[in-house]
């Protein structure tokens, strides 16, 4: 693993916008000199490194599924701040093995040892367009003789064909709260992969999904029955909404309800309980830092690095945010590796239960947030 420099393609901004990354300007805070998509640098891996990472993330995914089984059988839903009325519905979703589509591991990796799990984004992962499409076309233009850890597009199409969905079109829901367009473009891309798989699809705003109380079913603005929905609206928000009690019992949702256990950072503590000392895990606890002298307190439902606190013998750092009322997990802190002053986080993608690709975001700080840039990668021949 190494970081290399290159010359950005002429007109790269229009190129990536035409490939779906239309939000690359809006998604990045103003006043930053570095663009969100930065192809002036990239990371290079050997095939052996990628194969080892694939094996590690598939093992991590299997461990996570076993953790879900443990949480449900031990009725540990309170550790995840899930409202009690939804506990049985989460369990039923798992017992039915409701179909799932994709997810992203965030990993610490420096090229010299096993990857370490930072968190699992298994309900509403983004940076998909960058990982699946934009960096693939960058590779074809800049390094056409090299390879890339990236089978996302093909695997997504195959997975849509495998899903057991009810008859009728599948609705793809975005939210009107999306200010940058990132969610809308992610949903649109996944809708495109579903259509390439042969599914009939309809686009809809989450806010326009209606509840037909008489017939006890969801419907769209044309009064068409909604039987299956892909959404990037988090399950914890749905469970807090008025219609959440209907959502857990009616319709097929992707991602499914049981994934609310994988997208919650309490998972990190459960994994450490079940697999203490595992080389791909960092120590993590729900009841406090215990023996840890360096740790990071993460809100169970936090997003984009908000409301986090890093505690080390040298001092404390905090990020702003409004998360944390639901509780925290305390994870051993191991600083991200440094490559030329930048700290990469590897986003390793899963489609269904198989490793499918890699996206990398860089930061100069310890926590990846909305100021972090996406950089492509390649596998050198």
Instruction: Tell me the C-alpha distance between 22 and 15, whole Å.
Output: 10
Residue 66 pLDDT? 98
Residue 26 pLDDT? 65
Q: How far apart are the first and last CA of the chain?
A: 13
Residue 177 pLDDT? 85
Residue 381 pLDDT? 74
CA 262 to chain centre: 10
Q: Is the peptide bond before 255 cis (omega within 30 degrees of 0)?
A: yes
Question: In whole numbers, what is the pLDDT of the chain averaged over residues?
Answer: 95
Q: What would the mean pLDDT of 301-315 be, rounded to a whole number?
A: 90
Query: What burial letters (b/e) apply to 224-241, b meaning 16+ CB within 10 Å?
Result: eebbbbbbbbbbbebbee
Q: What would the mean pLDDT of 103-132 be, rounded to a whole number?
A: 96
Let me know: does 267 contact 308? Beta carbons within 8 Å. no
Residue 180 pLDDT? 81
**Backbone φ and ψ of 188, nearest 5°:** -65, -40
Confidence class of residue 29 from pLDDT cuts 50, 70 and 90? low
Q: What would the mean pLDDT of 281-298 be, rounded to a whole number?
A: 97
Q: Is the pLDDT of residue 350 over 90?
A: yes
Residue 352 pLDDT? 97
Q: Is the pLDDT of residue 22 over 90?
A: no
Confidence class of residue 262 from pLDDT cuts 50, 70 and 90? very high
Instruction: Tell me the C-alpha distance between 254 and 230, whole Å.
Output: 5
Q: Is the pLDDT of residue 25 over 90?
A: no
Residue 371 pLDDT? 75
Write down the domain spans for the chain: 2-264+337-379, 283-332
- 121-168 confidence digits (pLDDT tens): 999 998 999 999 999 999 999 999 999 999 999 999 999 999 999 999
- 45-80 confidence digits (pLDDT tens): 999 999 999 999 999 999 999 999 999 999 999 999
Q: Is the pLDDT of residue 346 over 90?
A: yes
pTM (two decimals): 0.95
Residue 366 pLDDT? 83
Q: What would the mean pLDDT of 253-281 be, rounded to a whole number?
A: 98
Q: At 42, is the secondary structure helix, strand, or coil?
A: strand
> Which residues, other chains included, contact 64 with Cβ-Cβ below 8 Å and sequence gap of 6+?
120, 122, 262, 267, 271
């Amino acid at each position: 693993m190494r970081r290399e420099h290159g010359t950005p393609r002429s007109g790269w901004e229009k190129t990536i916008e035409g490939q779906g990354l239309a939000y690359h300007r809006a998604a990045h805070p103003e006043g930053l000199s570095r663009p969100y998509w930065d192809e002036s640098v990239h990371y290079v891996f050997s095939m052996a490194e990628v194969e080892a990472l694939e094996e590690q993330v598939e093992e991590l995914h299997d461990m996570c599924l076993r953790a879900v089984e443990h949480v449900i059988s031990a009725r540990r839903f309170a550790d995840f701040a899930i409202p009690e009325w939804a506990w049985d519905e989460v369990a039923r979703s798992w017992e039915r093995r409701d179909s799932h589509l994709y997810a992203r591991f965030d990993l610490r990796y420096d090229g010299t040892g096993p990857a370490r799990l930072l968190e699992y984004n298994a309900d509403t992962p983004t940076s998909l367009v960058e990982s699946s499409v934009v960096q693939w076309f960058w590779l074809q233009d800049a390094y056409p003789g090299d390879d890339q850890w990236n089978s996302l597009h093909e695997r997504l199409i195959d997975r849509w064909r495998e899903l057991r969905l009810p008859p009728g079109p599948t609705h793809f829901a975005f939210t009107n709260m999306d200010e940058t367009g990132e969610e809308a473009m992610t949903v649109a891309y996944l809708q495109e992969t579903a259509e390439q798989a042969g599914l009939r699809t309809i686009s809809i705003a989450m806010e326009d999904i209606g509840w037909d109380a008489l017939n006890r079913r969801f419907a769209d603005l044309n009064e068409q029955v909604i039987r299956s929905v892909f959404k990037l609206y988090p399950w914890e928000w749905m469970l807090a909404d008025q219609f959440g009690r209907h959502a857990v019992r009616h319709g097929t949702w992707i991602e499914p309800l049981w994934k609310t256990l994988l997208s919650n950072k309490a998972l990190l503590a459960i994994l450490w309980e079940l697999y203490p000392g595992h080389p791909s895990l960092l120590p993590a606890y729900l009841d406090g830092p215990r023996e840890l002298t360096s740790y990071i307190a993460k809100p169970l439902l936090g997003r984009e690095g908000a409301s986090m606190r890093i505690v080390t013998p040298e001092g404390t750092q905090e990020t702003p945010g409004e998360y944390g009322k639901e509780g925290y997990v305390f994870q051993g802190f191991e600083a991200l590796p440094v490559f030329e002053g930048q700290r990469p986080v590897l986003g390793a993608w899963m489609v269904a239960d198989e490793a499918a690709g890699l996206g990398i975001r860089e930061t100069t700080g310890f926590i990846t947030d909305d100021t972090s840039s996406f950089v492509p990668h390649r596998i050198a021949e």
